[in-house]
Amino acid sequence: MIRVDLDVMLARRKMSLTELSAKVNITMANLSVLKTGKARAIRFSTLDALCQALHCQPGDILVYEDRPEEEGKDDE
């Protein structure tokens, strides 16, 4: 499972979601979906804009976590 740690990077950079929204020209609603982990996908252009605004690497925002065995079986 991929987890989006956008809130962690915002805290590290002492930046609000509103400020990030203005810098990357992405709506607050779409950033909120990413921040809360409800996003099912992310465009490379969006990831690029976030990394540029937050001065970070994609791995600082996206984190891989193993799923428990039971959860992964439904996706196969």
Q: What is the pLDDT of residues 23-54, one digit of tens each?
A: 999 999 999 999 998 999 999 999 999 999 99
Both tokens assigned to 25: 């020209």
Task: Please check whether residue 61 is in contact with residue 1, taking contact to mean a CB–CB distance below 8 angstroms.
Answer: no
Structural Rg of the chain based on CA atoms = 13
pLDDT band of residue 69 (cuts 50, 70, 90) is confident
| pLDDT at position 72 over 80 | no
Does the predicted model carry a pTM greater than 0.75? yes
Q: Which residues contact 8 (CB under 8 A, 6 or more apart)?
A: none
Task: Please give the class, per CATH, of domain 2-66.
Answer: mainly alpha
CA distances to 1, 65, 69, 70, 74 from 19, in Å: 28, 29, 39, 39, 39
Which residue in this structure is represented by tokens 């992310």? 42
